[in-house]
Structure formats: structure tokens, C-alpha cells
Structure 1
Amino acid sequence: MIVPEADNKEQQFDAIEQMHGGYWRHDFIDHAYLYNLYFPPERFFKQLTSQIHELVLNYPVAQNVLAGLVGTLIAQPAEQIVVGNGAAELIKIVSGHLAKKLIIPVPSFNEYANAAPTENIVEFVIEAPSFQLDVDKFAAEAIRNKADVAVVVSPNNPTSLLVPKVNLLKLLKKLAGHDCMLIVDESFIDFAQDRDRETLEDEIANYPNLAIFKSMSKAYGICGLRIGYMLTANTLFADQVRNGLHIWNLNGFAEMFLVHAPEYQQEFLASCDLVRADRDQFYQNLCSISGFTVYRPDANYIFCRLPDHAPSGPEVARRLFVGHNIYIKHCQGKTMRESDRYIRIASRTQNENRAVAAALKKIVAVEKLS
């Protein structure tokens, strides 16, 4: 939906709050959506435009070729990969059609629960102030509810906290004898400090009850191309998900990205280094705001609790937009206690991050004085 220009910033904020994308059409600084600003390189766009006639006029390739392209990129067998029109397409199949009882820690990425019938969802509350997942309690709750699918997003959204690999392996072992698939969503793992040590990709062959979901939009900065994939050694589960796709579920532009992505691996790794550096400096900037509780991030966004004297999360988001033309996500509506006291801020460039921190400091200081 294209939102017409509002008469004033207050009305524009209300309109943007109802949108799901399309932000680039509006003149504000987007600290809400979570993507890599430093990728893909400019030469990819030149490759894309040089073949735009062929891409528009011809059918794209089908699932088996797409799986091979992703397999080349991540060094995994194609038969263990299912490629979706974004991870959202795969989530819809699993949550909406395959899972009979799905358990997920909350707060987390809402789509896993939103895509499922309400009666099929079990929410496991991660308690403040740590927001750390207790895998023993989570496994016990999954088993008690006879869940056939459990989901863990790591790093989590909105908390930006990683669940250590050792804990996830423990969880896999606990669920293994109870016919429960564990989906680990690693969409933000490339921004973690120890990505290679924390990813479960090299454990796929050892755990038939494991599936890794990955939205490529975030790490690769290609939100508009809509590419996601599932990686699993469970051939039955892979076939069930694959059967839910239509024959041409990705378009030629997404195919072209996958064809050329291996050429850009060094640039991709360098871009993730830049994202981490900006994020770490942003974390320090936010920690300087009196009264803020700032969670040390593992992804490219930062989760904060506002001080008690500050306005609510929705009000802070509104003031940032109206007064500073900056848009962030507040957490009101997330399944968590005091959700209106929390905000999530995407890291952008260091200059933009400094501007957010300075604006937040002013908003909090003014409220404290009043």
C-alpha cells in the first residue's frame, strides 16, 4: 500500500505505523527495518540491469536449481535445502499447515505465531530482566504440550540476544525422543561476533530433528528480492515443506542474485564487519543515556528498556518521528510484561546512530525535568 502524504508529521506517523514495508517512498530515516546497509555491492546492480530484458521476459528456474544455487553459496547439499519467497513463505507452510502444536519463546518474531491457528500455538514466556532462554524449562514445556514443532530465533527479535550453541544442542537432544522438530531461525547470525562458532549449520547431519531457517533479506540487504531458505537433514520434513511451494516461487531477479552471490563473499564478510562495528559503537552511545537499560546486541539492532521517568515506547517513537524524522519500533503489543517500556532500534551508519542517541537523550532529559 502506498500511503498518501499526510497533512502533518503526526498523521504521517500514524499512517507509517500501519504499513509493512514501502518505507523508501517516504522521507524519513528508517531505524525500524533490519537489514545490511553495506551490501550488495554496486556491481550486482549493474549485472541485474544488464540482463533486465531477459529477467522480465522469461520464466525463472524452479526449486531444484534454486536449492543448488543456495547450496553452492552455503556449502551444503541441495537436497537438504528448500528455498522460499522469503523465510515468510516457509514459515507460513510450517506454522499454518504442518505444525499440529507449535511452541515458541516470547517475545520473539511474531510471524511464526501469526501464521498458525491460535489453538495450535503455545507461548513460552522469557522473563525480564535477562530475557535469556532457559532451554531445560522450554524443553519440558514443549514435551508437556506434545509440541511437534519448537521454534527458537537466535539472535532473537526484538531482544538481539543469541542463544548459545551449546544450549541449542542440549535442547535438540532433549526434544529428539519426542517427535519434535526444532526450528532455529538464524536470520541474524551473520552479525554475531562468533558467527562461525555459534551457527548450527555444521550440526545439520547430526540432528534429524533440526531445521535452520534463514531470511537472506537481513544479512544480504536484499529485502525486495524476497529470498529465504530452510536447511535440514530430515528428508521427510524437507519434502513436506517443499510440497507446499508452487513451481516458480522466486522470480528472475532473486535467481540472478543467487547466481552471482558466491562472487561477492569477501565483500559480504567485510560488510558484516562494518555492521558490527557500527552496532558496537551505537551500543556505547545508547549506554551513555541516563536511566536506559541497553542489552548488549548480537544482531544489527539494539533492545532497550526506557527509564521509568521517560515517556512510553509508543510516545518515544512518535516524538522521534515528529521531532527528528527518525522511525524506530516500539515493543508495545509484544507478548512481554511492560511491553510499552521497551524499544528496538536498528543500527545504521555511525552518524545516523549518533543522531538517534542524541535525540533520545533530549527526549528523556526533557521528560525528567518536567
Structure 2
Amino acid sequence: MQGIILAAGMGKRLKNITKNKTKCMVEVNGMSLIERMLKILDRKDLSRIIIVTGYQEETLKEYIASLTIHTPIIFVENPIYDKTNNIYSLSLTATFLEEEDTLLLESDLIFDETVIDLILCDPRENLALVDRFESWMDGTCMLLDENDCIVDMVAKKNLHFVNADQYYKTVNIYKFSRHFSKYTYVPFLKAYAMAMGNNEYYESVIRLIAMLDTKELQARRLNGQRWYEIDDIQDLDIAESLFTDNTEEQYKKITARYGGFWRYPKLVDYCYLVNPYFPTEHMLEEIRANSDRLIMQYPSGARVIRLLAGKLFGISDKKIIVGNGAAELIREMMQETNGKIGFVTPTFEEYINCCKQEQRVIMDTRKMDFSYSGQDIQDYFEQKHIQMLVLINPDNPSGNYIDSREIYELIHWCKKKKICLILDESFSDFSDEAESCIADSYLELYDEFYVIKSISKSYGVPGCRLGILAGKNSEKLDQIQRKLPIWNINSYAEFFLQIIEKYKEDYRLSLDRLRKSREIFRKELEKIPYMKVYPSQANYVMCELSDGVKSRKLASFLLENNILIKVLNEKLNNQKEMIRLAVRTDEENMHLIELLEKFGGEYIE
């Protein structure tokens, strides 16, 4: 068995990164693609490795010569790499193909060694390595039958994304027997190049062969092995987070992205906090049905958006404004005072980060085991001379909840003290009480009482970036509105507000399901010996780890099993090992419980 690597391309989409080197010399976490690939192949007892060069040929050859590779390497030059495609590069290796069984790879791949082991250990002689099509993938796809025979190969320009779940993407790693290459593939390759020219792709030849009744070439499906194709700077960035030296480093790189986790399709997100039971499939169908118009048309301006938001919460549009996520409104609201601001910590840090250090007056609930009441807040800030008080209820990350009676009393206390009160109730819909202060019965109590709410969390639509700010003081709301762009809300977010009224009952039912799931989840977590589970009225639970369990070690273990959790050590800074777990569906939660039990069995004596 020999290896053939196609490495003649220019890698134009990587722009300046490949200005003076080939694409396969690009590094992922300190190691180039070609070095990683050659080191893996060097352990597979290949007779030789043929590398087709072109762009920056001498640079690549010198670089490879500097590596410690024991397998003999033969270079084949494609002198017209800038005028041809990979069909020509592969045709230059025709003689080699006819001499031995071949493992064929493209040089812009990064993969785990198990990927190569999978195809080499398969007894079938002629295989195309494939994986389930995902949104990040680009290029030729296949349709397979139940016997792994290739039914069709679909060029990327002919892909129908409604059928995406039926497609398999070629990994661009193939295994050809000498007999297949000599009597089938090479003859077809030469004939196709002669008929269609050299600016084509060798996959086109595979497509022709796949249509033959002989069914000589079959597919080998991956089942979770990691690989990535590096075409542009985004691919490189994602590969950096996938292929790290250790899982702790991978955890840091993934969480530092602050979202965009659809790029990791197998990842189950227990870090970010959204309603797993809403929107319903029916609502998503309606959004999909209108997607063409929404993406091609401008959204309405602020007046219409405020009208829709007011209708949703049953208040006047004069009492509400809508932001591109709650974060946009938090920033504007926190700039309304230069005085001292009271915070109950630990909490959502966006508020604290929006004011100066000297403005912050902190009520630290770590000393109270993260449990506090409305009266505790009044007692603490009674003599602190604050001008503004920020309260998140339920709190994040503790899940501590102050009921509506205490909130009512806190509003009156702030009014008496002339303190501006900002209440963030982004998670309040998940509470058993489910009482919202975005109502005239609360807003009319005090001119300087404001409610901020992230629609993303309770309604399960973080991609829409919707947040609202409500209050009686319409003059201040108008003042903040004028600081925002006229089109700060996109068409998808507007459409969500437009149709949500039809799905209010579905939303209510989703909250009921979430509360039941939370209770089941908490009870199961409490059975785990090394966990202390804090009471929560939100869609997450905070846990303290004991028996020497380190939160980062646990997070790394779970990430190895495609689950992402929130490590709270730095946020809480209380010399304890703390994590936060979102509440997801019952099935997902039970899978997590099983992994937590497994971790306890493997890592705790």
C-alpha cells in the first residue's frame, strides 16, 4: 500500500496566510497539516508516499525534508498548477496508481489517526471515506444505499439542502486497489480528462464509475471520528478549537467563541441557557416558509417593533423598547447614572462590566451560600447611598428567586429611597410562580422602575437577538431609543414578534414541561455523591463538586463526550469547584446523568 497526497493547489481563499507557502503548510495549533498527515501515514507501513506539488514547490519540498519521516517520499510536479484542477494532478500519478494499492488524500485535511485506521482496516478493497453532511461542509456529496453502494454523486452546485439529511460528504480520502486503478479508474481518468479538459475534478470520474453496475467502489461511513477540511480562515479557526493537545485547551477555545455552536453539530450545549421546548416545530415551519421574504426584505423601524413588543406583553408601546438582544439595552441603561450602583453578586457580568470600578457597590452572596431575600437586599443597601440597584431574578448562575411579593416591597423601598431599580427577569418565566413585572400593575408603581428581559432565553430564539426594556418613564425610553440604530432588529426577529401571539399556548405548555424536566433533573443530580445541587427557579442548576472532583476535569470529560457545560470557578472565585448545567430535554438530561455517574466511577476512588 502506498499513499498519494495532492498538494499542488494555491489555497487562494486563505489569502495572506498562503502568500509564501502552500495550504498544507498552514499550521493548526503549532503543527502544519502536512506534518500531521505525514506523521500519521508514517505509522501505517506504507511502501512510499507520492506528493504532487505545484504552488511553492521548492518551499514545500524543503519543509518536508526538514521533517523526520521514515517512509520514502517521491515528489511529482504539476508545472501548470495555476491552470489545472486536481484531475490533472492525479493523472500525473497514473503510473504509480497502476503499481500498488493506494491511499489517496488531499493535503488540506486535518483528521484523527482513527480516520485512517478505519479505512485501512476495512476489508473492502475500494472505498471512499464519507461523513454525514453538515452545514460547514463544502464540495461533492454522495447518496448511498443500505449496502454502502454509491447511488449518486452530487456536485455542490446541485445540492438541494432540503435533502441534506440524505447526503454524505466525501472526506477526500480514498482507498483504491491496484487492480481497480489499472483497469477502471486510470482508464476513466484519462478518457475524462481528454474529453473534458484538465480543469476538472477527479471526483467526476468517481461519479461515472459509481454509475456502473459493477459497484466496485463503495463508501465507508465515519461514525464520530474527527476531521476538517481547511479552505479559508474560518475553517482554520474552527480546526484550532477541534484539534487541540488536550481537552481543557479545547474547552477554553470553544467557550471563548461565545456561541456559533452549530459549527460543532455533535455538541450538546449545557452552557448557554435557552428553552429546549420552544419554538415548536409548527412555529419553525412557519418561519421557514417565510424565510425567502425575510432574508430579502428590510425589517420595520423602531415604531412598529415597539408596537409588536407592547402587544406581546400587554402594555403600551410607549412603555417598551426592543434591543438587539438584552445586552444592547443593558449597556445603554447602565450609562444613565454616574452615581453608585448596587449589585447582588455573583451575577450576569454584562451589567457590572458596563460601569466603572468606583461606581460598584457589591452585595456578595457567597457568604450566604447564594441564598438571599428581598429583605436581605434592603438591609444591605440601606446605608450604601446607591443611585441605582440591579437585580437579576432568578439570578444567574445561582437560580435564587425572589417572589413577587418581595419584588413589590423592593420597588416601594427603592421609590422611598429614590433609587432607580433595574430588574432583569430573563429567566422569570421558568419559575413556578411565573409572575412577570412587565405589566402595568408593576410598572405604574414607580417612575424609575425598569424591567429588562432577554426574549432569547425563555422563548428559545437566541439567534434572533431580541431583548426588551420596559418602564413607565416613556421620556427616558425614548431617549434610549434615539441612541439605537433605526434597524437594530432584523427581519427574522420582527417576524417572530409578529407571529408569537398565535403560539402563546404552546409557549405556556413549554414552560410547564421545562419545570417538570428541571425537577426530574435536580432529583437525579442530587443522587450523584460528589454533587451539591442548589435550589433553582431558572432553566439551569448550579452545583458544587466535592470528593476532590475538579470542575475543569469534569468539563473536559464531558466535552470528550460532546457535552459542553459552564465552569464557574473564575466567576465565583470562592475556592470551590462549581459548575452550572442548563436544563435540556429529559432524554438529553438522562444521558448527562449517565455520564456524570460514569465519571464518578472512573475518577473517584
Alignment-derived partner of residue 351 in structure 1: 587
Q: Work out the CA distance in 2 between the residues paired with 1:103 and 1:205.
A: 23
1:251 to 467, 481, 490: 490
What's the offset of the Cα at 1:126? Answer: 1.0
Secondary structure class of the residue paired with 1:289: coil
Alignment-derived partner of residue 302 in structure 1: 541
Alignment-derived partner of residue 263 in structure 2: 25
What's the offset of the Cα at 1:193? Answer: 1.0
C-alpha distance 245-362 of structure 1, shift in aligned 2 (>3 A): same
Please give the root-mean-square deviation of Cα atoms over the aligned residues, in Å.
Answer: 2.2
Alignment-derived partner of residue 189 in structure 1: 428
2:388 to 141, 149, 154: 149
What's the offset of the Cα at 1:62? Answer: 1.6
Alignment-derived partner of residue 554 in structure 2: 316
Alignment-derived partner of residue 238 in structure 2: 4
Alignment-derived partner of residue 142 in structure 2: none
Structure 2 letter corresponding to 1:80: K
1:236 to 466, 472, 475: 475
Q: Structure 1 residues 161-170 or 343-352, which shifts more?
A: 161-170
**Aligned 8 A contact 1:148 1:180 in 2:** yes
Q: Structure 1 residues 268-277 or 163-172, which shifts more?
A: 163-172
Q: Work out the CA distance in 1 between the residues paired with 2:367 and 2:598.
A: 26
Secondary structure class of the residue paired with 1:113: helix
What's the offset of the Cα at 1:131? Answer: 1.4
**Aligned 8 A contact 2:549 2:604 in 1:** no
The unaligned stretches of length 5 or more in structure 1 are none
**Aligned 8 A contact 2:390 2:423 in 1:** yes
C-alpha distance 288-148 of structure 1, shift in aligned 2 (>3 A): same
Structure 2 letter corresponding to 1:293: K
Alignment-derived partner of residue 320 in structure 2: 81
What's the offset of the Cα at 1:137? Answer: 4.8
Structure 1 letter corresponding to 2:502: E
Summarize the alignment of residues 1-370 of structure 1 with structure 2, pairs less than 5 Å apart.
3-5=237-239, 6-8=242-244, 10=247, 11-26=249-264, 27-96=266-335, 98=337, 100-128=339-367, 130-139=369-378, 141-142=380-381, 144-196=383-435, 199=437, 201=439, 202-307=441-546, 309-322=547-560, 324-338=561-575, 340-369=576-605
Structure 2 letter corresponding to 1:354: M
Q: Work out the CA distance in 1 between the residues paired with 2:268 and 2:537.
A: 22
Q: Work out the CA distance in 1 between the residues paired with 2:370 and 2:522.
A: 18
Q: Taking structure 1 as the reference length, what is the TM-score of the superposition?
A: 0.91
**Aligned 8 A contact 1:185 1:213 in 2:** yes
Q: Work out the CA distance in 2 between the residues paired with 1:265 and 1:223.
A: 18
Q: Work out the CA distance in 1 between the residues paired with 2:592 and 2:305.
A: 40
What's the offset of the Cα at 1:120? Answer: 2.5
Secondary structure class of the residue paired with 1:206: coil
**Aligned 8 A contact 2:437 2:443 in 1:** no
What's the offset of the Cα at 1:130? Answer: 3.6
What's the offset of the Cα at 1:199? Answer: 4.5
Q: Work out the CA distance in 1 between the residues paired with 2:347 and 2:534.
A: 15
Q: Work out the CA distance in 2 between the residues paired with 1:174 and 1:97.
A: 20
Q: Work out the CA distance in 2 between the residues paired with 1:80 and 1:247.
A: 18
Q: Work out the CA distance in 1 between the residues paired with 2:345 and 2:334.
A: 16
Post-superposition Cα deviations, 1:224-247, rounded to whole Å, max 9, x if no partner, equal 001110111123332332232121
Secondary structure class of the residue paired with 1:243: helix
Secondary structure class of the residue paired with 1:195: coil
Q: Work out the CA distance in 1 between the residues paired with 2:259 and 2:250.
A: 14
Post-superposition Cα deviations, 1:68-94, rounded to whole Å, max 9, x if no partner, equal 101111111111001111111000111
Q: Work out the CA distance in 2 between the residues paired with 1:57 and 1:227.
A: 20
**Aligned 8 A contact 1:96 1:117 in 2:** no
Alignment-derived partner of residue 154 in structure 2: none
**Aligned 8 A contact 1:149 1:182 in 2:** yes
Structure 2 letter corresponding to 1:249: N
Q: Structure 1 residues 82-91 or 288-297, which shifts more?
A: 288-297
Q: Work out the CA distance in 2 between the residues paired with 1:91 and 1:114.
A: 10
Structure 2 letter corresponding to 1:341: E
What's the offset of the Cα at 1:99? Answer: 5.3
Q: Structure 1 residues 76-85 or 158-167, which shifts more?
A: 158-167
Higher strand share: 2
Q: Work out the CA distance in 1 between the residues paired with 2:379 and 2:510.
A: 40
**Aligned 8 A contact 1:212 1:231 in 2:** yes
What's the offset of the Cα at 1:164? Answer: 1.8
**Aligned 8 A contact 1:132 1:163 in 2:** no
Higher helix share: 1
**Aligned 8 A contact 1:106 1:124 in 2:** yes
Structure 2 letter corresponding to 1:151: V
**Aligned 8 A contact 1:214 1:230 in 2:** yes
**Aligned 8 A contact 1:212 1:230 in 2:** yes
Post-superposition Cα deviations, 1:172-215, rounded to whole Å, max 9, x if no partner, equal 2222133311111111111111113x646331112223111110
Structure 1 letter corresponding to 2:288: T
Q: Taking structure 2 as the reference length, what is the TM-score of the superposition?
A: 0.57
Of structures 1 and 2, the one scoring higher in RCO (CA 8 A, sep 6+) is 1
**Aligned 8 A contact 1:321 1:327 in 2:** yes
C-alpha distance 176-199 of structure 1, shift in aligned 2 (>3 A): closer
**Aligned 8 A contact 1:182 1:211 in 2:** yes
What's the offset of the Cα at 1:53? Answer: 3.8
What's the offset of the Cα at 1:333? Answer: 1.6
Structure 2 letter corresponding to 1:85: N
The unaligned stretches of length 5 or more in structure 2 are 1-233
Q: Work out the CA distance in 2 between the residues paired with 1:125 and 1:42.
A: 42
Structure 1 letter corresponding to 2:238: P
Identity %: 29
C-alpha distance 343-258 of structure 1, shift in aligned 2 (>3 A): same
